[in-house]
């Protein structure tokens, strides 16, 4: 397997010069290389991990570029928490050591690869239990913790039905004050999310006296 490419877009000239210099050294990491990039390249190639500074981050948000993980070099006095973002940001405070940054990126990639091997892949969608993200070719959505537990129970029983009683026991362990109405409310919300975001209707089905089940025809 080849090395991962980690693009960097840094408008701060000092930071940019540092990364341009280290990008020329292909032996720094065994699993990734840095590569200079720009917003247009991000749109075309859809990189999932990038290095940015605050100015670049703002442009990514404004342009609505889809990126899963940003390593943000904190070169500003602005509070990055003021940004409304839908991606994960790992903030790197200045001053920082490049060796420390390499290790953080390597650890992230190693963990990410482990998670990928745990992905549940089906014909029309993929589910990542670690991030609680359900995705198709065009759309993705993230479940709440309880929604994820319900969905995983349905996947584990994808060739059969699971009763309301069993689902309540598995997800809530018959917690005090929890009844079938609570379950039905969560399943309804889960169905609406999947139908609205992924355009999948009737993925979660219910049969009286048998319980819930996944529609195998669209798995």
CATH number at residue 61: 3.40.50.2300
How does DSSP assign 83-112, residue by residue? Answer: S--SSEEEEEESS--HHHHHHHHHHHHHHH
Pick the last residue of a domain from 82, 117, 152: 117
Does residue 137 share a domain with residue 88?
Answer: no
Q: Which pLDDT tens digit goes with each residue over 15-72? A: 999 999 888 777 778 888 888 998 888 887 766 789 999 999 888 888 888 787 899 9
Q: Which pLDDT tens digit goes with each residue over 176-189? A: 567 888 899 999 99
Provide the 10 A C-beta neighbour count for residue 151. 22
State if pTM tops 0.75: no
CATH number at residue 188: 1.10.10.10
Token pair for residue 183? 């379950």
């Amino acid at each position: 397997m080849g090395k991962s490419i980690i693009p960097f877009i840094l408008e701060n000239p000092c930071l940019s010069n540092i990364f341009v210099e280290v990008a020329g050294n292909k032996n720094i990491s065994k699993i990734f290389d840095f590569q200079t990039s720009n917003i247009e390249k991000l749109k075309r190639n859809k990189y999932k991990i990038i290095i940015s500074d605050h100015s670049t981050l703002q442009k990514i948000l404004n342009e609505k570029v889809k990126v899963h993980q940003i390593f943000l070099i904190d070169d500003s006095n602005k509070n990055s928490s003021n940004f409304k973002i839908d991606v994960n940001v790992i903030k790197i405070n200045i001053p920082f050591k490049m060796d420390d940054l390499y290790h953080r990126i390597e650890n992230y990639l190693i963990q990410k690869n482990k998670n990928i091997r745990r992905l549940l892949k089906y014909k029309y969608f993929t589910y990542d239990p670690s991030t609680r993200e359900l995705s198709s070719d065009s759309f993705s959505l993230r479940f709440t913790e309880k929604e994820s537990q319900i969905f995983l129970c349905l996947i584990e029983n994808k060739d059969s039905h699971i009763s309301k009683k069993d689902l309540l026991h598995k997800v809530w362990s018959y917690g005090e004050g929890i009844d079938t109405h609570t379950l039905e409310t969560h399943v309804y919300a889960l169905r609406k999310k999947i139908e609205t975001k992924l355009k999948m209707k009737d993925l979660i089905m219910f049969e009286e006296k048998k319980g819930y089940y996944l529609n195998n025809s669209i798995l």
